[in-house]
Amino acid sequence: MKMERSNLASQSKTWFQVYGQKFGALIFWVMLIALYQWYAVSNQFSPLQVVQRMLTFMQNGVWGVLIYIILYAVRPLILFPATFLSLAGGFVFGPFLGVLYTIIASNISSTIAFYIGRFFGEGIFKDDGSENLIQRYARQMRENSFETVMIMRFIFLPYDAVSYLAGFLRIKYLPFILATALGSIPGTMAFIGFGASIEKFDGALPKLNPVTLGFSVAIFMISIALSRIFKKREGFSK
């Protein structure tokens, strides 16, 4: 009887050692998301309105750049859409500096999301050698990390979801971040270009610069074309 109690205590302690830290981190993360959602809902702020309130700070010289990069880097923690911040980056910093700052910030944010996914995915999703759809896709992502992640970036799959998934599947960081850095360039240029084409950002129907808007649409189409080329070459859709 004492032996059984000892084994049960040992099993309980082992579970806590393995999963207790993750469980605590998950609770903290959920509370952080809930706190932001409570703030936004209680003040009736949409993501666009939140960005509008940040514009004044973002336009404050060097500090504005740092604020933009920090906000962009940590936004995966509260699941804030990258699109709105990218548009704001184009509007505030213009098409050239906007792309530069956003590439820096987005790679930091994707790194944060990647390691969060790796932390929570450790020891959970292992390749058991089966041929079901999930295992085959996970195996392909691990074996062809660079190409798979790059295609995901080209076709505008949810940015943070790709980063979390890559970390969860424990693919290597170097091919992930290289594919993210390269594969995100067309999308970044497209959204920054669209933001830069907005001449007024006050919540009303914006007046757009047709030249800059045309550029962003062209880049968007190039990104889609590149994704199709990579899909065909790598057999991604099989």
Report pTM. Answer: 0.77
State the Cα torsion 53-161-219-46 to the nearest 10°.
Answer: -20
The residues, ordered by sequence, that sit 6+ positions from 89 with a Cβ below 8 Å of its Cβ are 58, 68, 72, 98, 101, 102, 105, 192, 195
Q: Which amino acid is at 136?
A: R
Average the pLDDT over each of 1-5, 94-98, 121-125, 220-224 and give the range with the smallest value.
1-5
Mean pLDDT, all residues of the chain:
79
Higher pLDDT, 189 or 142: 189
On the question of pLDDT at 149 being above 80, the answer is yes
| Structure-block tokens of residue 102 | 């956003």
Confidence of residue 10 (pLDDT cuts 50, 70, 90): very low
Burial class of residue 128 in the structure, from the number of CB atoms within 10 Å of its CB (0-12 exposed, 13-18 middle, 19+ buried): exposed
- Cβ 186 vs Cβ 154: under 8 Å: yes
pLDDT at 37: 79
pLDDT of residue 237: 47
Residue 16 has pLDDT above 60, yes or no: no
Instruction: Look at residue 175 in the predicted model and tell me its pLDDT.
Output: 93
Cα torsion angle, 14, 18, 24, 27, sign:
negative
Torsion sign across C-alpha atoms 101, 104, 105, 110: positive
pLDDT digits (tens, 9 = 90+) for 89-108: 888 898 899 999 999 999 99
